Amino acid sequence: MSRGLYIPEGYKSALTLRETQHAIKYIKDIFQQALSFALTLDRVSAPLIVRKGSGINDDLNGVERKVDFTIKEIDSEAEVVQSLAKWKRMALYRYGYNAGEGIYTDMNAIRRDDDTDNTHSIFVDQWDWEKVITRDQRNIGFLKDTVRSIVKAVAYVKRKVRLRYPMLTMDVCEEPFFITSQELEDMYPDMTPKERERLIAKDHGTVFVMQIGGLLASGQKHDGRAPDYDDWSLNGDLLFWDDVLDNALEISSMGIRVDENSLKVQLAECNAEDRMRFDYHRMIAEGELPLTIGGGIGQSRLCMFLLEKAHIGEVQCSIWQDEIVEKCASNGITLL
């Protein structure tokens, strides 16, 4: 199902198709270096598939269908990952990382139930990252400092891209504005969460909306979050104002991960205590897994933002509805 296609008035890509392909590689090369330096991360290999029923796959909002299949030589079913939120924390434990050290990886996923539009595709590509922290760092101040480091990395890459492609004109606001989802609802009580995000991002340029997952005073959620990776009091979404789309663009979802206490509370709130049968959840409850902070940074989202594109299909190959392909083609939007 599509969320709807937005065609910016008079849109024309600033880059040719070949320039776009070169620029995508350039962005991916330099951003991962900038991210690694900013957060002290090592690159590691990561799975595309995991065993069904292992508890490692991301359940997202708990209703999305995973892509699964049988394996001829193994008496077991496999699933394509939806994200690596849980796998990364287990990897830090297995690889022996210490506080202040972390990892990042290229994550490719298929989310078959996602609604598609200018910024959403069933194919998801992210830099997934995770870092070991201390108990004392499980606070809002440390979360904000980490967000600032990521924003500086994005702004640095934008400057590099503009030097190479001077026809690109958008700037990146380097000072993120921080607001909780409840504060945002209080500001705009009669609007939807996405409408609120658009207004706050238009006002401030770069925004980090904090504390996502739990119920707001209205009885609604700002957005859904799985109960077993982010601590809902210590997480958030990073938004940039996108002039091309005339809207907020979410580049990253991230947060300090659950400890033994927040895991118990959030599983109970979602009636998901049965997940405690999995090793991942048991190891958190028993304090065996390290305390971490982590998130995902959309590769295609970042590329379309920095290259001032109108559709995510201009920077990645995916599958789209026929009418979307036709409408894009007739309005100067070239899908890869």
- How far apart, in whole angstroms, are the C-alpha atoms of residue 316 and residue 301? 9
- Candidate list 137, 253, 266, 300, residue with the active-site label: 253
Active-site residue, selected from the candidate residues 237, 242, 308, 314: 237
58 is known as an active-site residue: yes
Q: Is 274 a catalytic residue?
A: no
Active site annotation includes 250: yes
Beta bridge partners of 4: 117
List 111, 225, 257, 301, catalytic entry? 111
Domain ranges of the chain: 2-330
pLDDT of residue 246: 93
Identify the pLDDT of residue 62.
60
Please state, in angstroms and rounded to a whole number, the distance separating the CA atoms of residues 69 and 235. 33
Contact assessment for residue 312 and residue 125, using Cβ atoms and an 8 Å cutoff: no
Q: Are 203 and 211 in contact (CB under 8 A)?
A: no
Q: For helices 140-164 and 299-306, give the axis angle rounded to 10 degrees.
A: 50
- Residues in Cβ contact with 307 at an 8 Å cutoff, skipping those fewer than 6 apart: 14, 15, 20, 23, 24, 27, 161, 165, 168, 314, 315
Q: Give the three-state DSSP class for 4.
A: strand
DSSP lists the bridge partners of residue 71 as 74
pLDDT at 139: 97
Q: Domain 2-330 - what CATH class? A: alpha beta
Q: pLDDT tens for residues 306-334?
A: 999 998 989 988 888 888 888 888 888 88
Query: Computed over its alpha carbons, how large is the radius of gyration of the chain?
Result: 20
Q: Is-catalytic flag, 237? A: yes
| b/e per residue 293-306 (b: at least 16 CB within 10 A) | bbbbbbbbbbbbbb
Instruction: Catalytic residue, from 13, 32, 36, 58: name it.
Output: 58
d(CA 238, CA 177): 10
* Neighbour tally for 149: CB within 10 Å: 15
**pLDDT per residue rounded down to tens, the chain (336 residues):** 446 788 888 889 999 999 999 999 999 999 999 999 999 999 999 888 887 777 667 666 566 777 788 877 887 788 888 778 888 999 999 999 999 999 999 988 888 777 888 888 888 999 999 999 999 999 999 999 999 999 999 999 999 999 999 999 999 999 999 999 999 999 999 999 999 999 999 999 999 999 999 999 999 999 988 899 899 999 999 999 999 999 999 999 999 999 999 999 999 999 989 988 988 899 999 999 999 999 999 999 999 999 999 989 899 888 888 888 888 888 888 888
One of 250, 259, 308, 314 is an active-site residue; which one?
250
253 is catalytic: yes
**DSSP-assigned beta bridge partners for residue 116:** 2
Report d(CA 128, CA 56) in Å as an integer.
Answer: 15
pLDDT at 120: 86
Q: Which two three-digit tokens encode residue 172?
A: 């990146």
Per annotation, catalytic residue among 13, 32, 121, 126: 126
Question: Is 29 an annotated catalytic residue?
Answer: no
Q: Which residues of 197-220 are buried (b: 16+ CB within 10 A; e: fewer)?
A: bbebbeebbbbbbbbbbbebeeee
Cα dihedral across residues 50, 44, 138, 255: positive or negative: negative
